[in-house]
Amino acid sequence: MKSTEPKPHKQYIVQSHERCSSQGIDKGLVYSRKILSGKKLSEKLEEKKELIVIATPFMNSLYNCVKGSNFFAIITDEEGCILNVMGDKGIVDEAYKLKMVPGAYMNEENIGTNAMSLALTQKVPVQVSNNEHYLESYHKWTCSCCPIKDTKGNIIGTIDLTGYSENVHPHTLGMVVAAAKFIEKMLEINKYNEALIHNNNHIKTIFNTISKGIITLDLSGTIKTTNKIANEMFGFSQTKILEMKIWDLVEGWQEILDTLYSEKNFIDEDVYIKSKKNKLQLNVSAHPILDSEKRIQEIILVFQELKKVRKLAGRISSGHAVYTFNKIIGENQEFLKVINYCNKIANSRSTILITGESGTGKEVFAQSIHNASDRRDEPFIAVNCGAIPRSLIESELFGYEDGAFTGAKRGGCPGKFEIADGGTIFLDEIGEMSLDMQTKLLRVIEEKVINRIGGRNPIPVNVRIIAATNKNLKAEVEKGNFRNDLFYRLNVLPVYLPPLRDRKDDIPLLIEFFMNTVSKRLNKRKVEIPEEYLENLINYNWPGNIRELENVIELIINTESMPLNLEKRSIKPETDFIEIEEENLKLEYIEKKHILSVLGKFKGNVTSASKALGVGRNTLYRKLEKYNVEISSLK
């Protein structure tokens, strides 16, 4: 027997009816008060495409369970707008007459109390039958509906199964709830898959934008992934590389694997690679991927061109030039002509030979020439040929291969010429180079290739050579100490730096410059130099040139007094100048005293003292030998 009033125990239905009445919804209403069509409907369906695509198979499964029983399934969005309808033809046709079609809103304010509206407002599964519906035209229906929620618990739609009221059964609601849960699970999986695809694309993009070649592989040598740079390095397509084993590409693979198994690092080693065109050498680092028990599961290989590695090594190992011509202090006209000339030859590929006395600034000019050239962004490598033992200079300049000699670094080591590739190499004190090394250097200049010690393959290098010496190389040639042909190969663009005594007008400028820079470096106040003493400094011969002048200024700043009467005149005590005996009026005395003071401060540590003095260790050792100083006496 049908009741004319909602069942009293379903209080939420009573409340819904009251809301419908207060909103002025006519019980005789047949169609929803809001139905989308045309462009607006298309936009809505496109907006809810994911829900429709995922829910439709479950709608179909739900319908198949009740097929032939006069039921139809409905999917709505979170506003109650119908997105899809599926069911037996007869009942669907009848529903369409009531415009229960895609685009129709089944929420409470547009069509009164029904299962879909209550599922949205109560946020729980509901079943509404007969006159529990607010509209009289819906009294013939029984509707079972369940909200569909996203992973955060927000309602994003509903799934509904509607039939004739005489077919009402609690199991129908259970079926709808099960379908909703399956849809939610699929939405969650879809969300996870989308995030996974996004993350994979993110990683893949990063993977392919890295400027190094990357290959991942398992322990059997099977290559799993490669990036574009690796494909380009090897000259194979990714498909082809994935068909290969790692030993088809990398020589000495077993050694790399053994190193990783012994828990040692395999970082920045040079190995030979079998590319599509020929064999080449690349720099390789191997990184193991470990499981929770720290067992190797996979390996990542990172490849880099040696040229890029050398350039980086050059930058790390003082491979950059800091001086430029605008930082060189001087207004002497002849000196300015030298600067102008060096600016003009900076871009030439020809070798430059800088000559001049010790301390005239040969490396400063070499760096400035480099920075004025089109090689300014490439390495600048300085080599003091006089400071490297003869037994090591060949490996220092040209490098060596793995196993070339006892103690050789595994994988070999590039020399200064390789590191300077593309840039400039500055060979200071070239006059100290042995004759056999001169022969090898001449070959490098002529053929523009180097051979590592123990290596078979010549390595081409594009290096601009700037050599420097304080010796008279022509005289050395006549003595048989320097090769004549090498001298002319180096002396293509000669640069002569005048001694400080030939540019006395620059001495006040240099004093002011060093007074400012040295006082800042030492964090001490500047010292005012009396005019009388300044004249002595200007007229002094300066055998040590600019370097000697800088040392004297540093001594003045440290002692806050004038350390020397350059005109060999005694200075009155009341002037606060230091009075020095006539036999000690040479700068060598001051230098020795300063060296002993610094060495005493560092308790005879030559490395620390040489840094504080701003000179090389070898230079300091030569000074100590000159002054007959025993290091042991200072400790």
pLDDT band at 567 (very low <50, low <70, confident <90, very high): very low
Instruction: Please tell me the total number of residues recorded for the chain in this structure.
Output: 635
Read off the pLDDT of residues 331-382 as tens digits, 9 standing for 90 and up: 999 999 999 999 999 999 999 999 999 999 999 999 999 999 999 888 899 9
> How far apart are alpha carbons 383 and 419 in whole angstroms?
12
pTM of the model: 0.49
Tell me the two tokens of residue 112.
């009164």
Residue 628 is predicted with a pLDDT of 78
User: Which residues face 269 on adjacent strands?
Assistant: 284
**C-alpha span between 403 and 233 (Å, rounded):** 26
3-state DSSP helix/strand/coil % of the chain, to nearest 5: 45, 20, 35
State the residue for tokens 């102008």: 340
In the beta sheet, which residues pair with residue 218? 298
Across 26-45, average pLDDT: 93
CATH architecture of residue range(s) 317-498 = 3-Layer(aba) Sandwich (3.40)
Above 50 in pLDDT, residue 577? no
| Domain coordinates in residue numbering, the chain | 11-192, 210-313, 317-498, 502-634
- pLDDT at position 83 is 95
d(CA 473, CA 454): 32
What is the model's pLDDT at position 583? 35
Q: Which of 260, 271, 275 is nearest to 304 (CA)?
A: 271
Mean pLDDT of 430-454: 91
Lowest mean pLDDT among 219-228, 335-344, 406-415: 406-415
pLDDT, residue 212, reads 84
Can you give the pLDDT at residue 415?
87
Query: Top-level CATH class of 11-192?
Result: alpha beta
pLDDT tens digits for range 255-278: 888 888 888 888 877 787 877 766
Q: Say how far residue 400 (Cα) sits from the centre of its chain.
A: 29
- pLDDT, one tens digit per residue, over 87-135 is 888 899 999 999 999 999 999 999 999 999 999 999 999 999 999 999 9
With 0-12 / 13-18 / 19 or more C-beta atoms within 10 angstroms meaning exposed / middle / buried, residue 422 is middle
Question: Which residues, including other chains, have CB under 8 Å from residue 401's CB and lie 6 or more apart?
Answer: 408, 412, 452, 453, 454, 455
SS3 36: coil
> Could you give the percent of the chain with pLDDT greater than 70?
88
Contacts of 351 by beta carbon, 8 Å cutoff, 6+ apart: 445, 464, 465, 466, 467, 489, 490, 491, 492, 493
Domain 210-313 annotated CATH 3.30.450.20: yes
pLDDT band at 42 (very low <50, low <70, confident <90, very high): very high
- The pLDDT value recorded for residue 581 is 38
Q: Which residue has the higher pLDDT, 206 or 42?
A: 42
Q: Would 11-192 and 210-313 be classified into the same CATH topology?
A: yes
Residue with tokens 């002529």, as numbered in its chain: 446
Residue closest to 319 by CA, chosen among 433, 459, 418:
418
Whether 8 shows a pLDDT value over 50: the answer reads: no
Q: Sign of the C-alpha dihedral, residues 45, 47, 53, 55?
A: negative
Q: Categorize the per-residue pLDDT at 406 as very low, low, confident or very high, splitting at 50, 70 and 90.
A: low
Q: Which amino acid is at 257?
A: L
More confident residue, 228 or 616: 228
Residue 570 scores a pLDDT above 60: no
Burial of 256 (0-12, 13-18, 19+ CB in 10 A): buried
- pLDDT at 632 (0 to 100): 63
**Cα–Cα dist 499/358, whole Å:** 9
At the topology level, CATH places domain 502-634 in: Helicase, Ruva Protein; domain 3 (1.10.8)
pLDDT for 315 beyond 50: no
Across the strands, what pairs with 280? Answer: 273
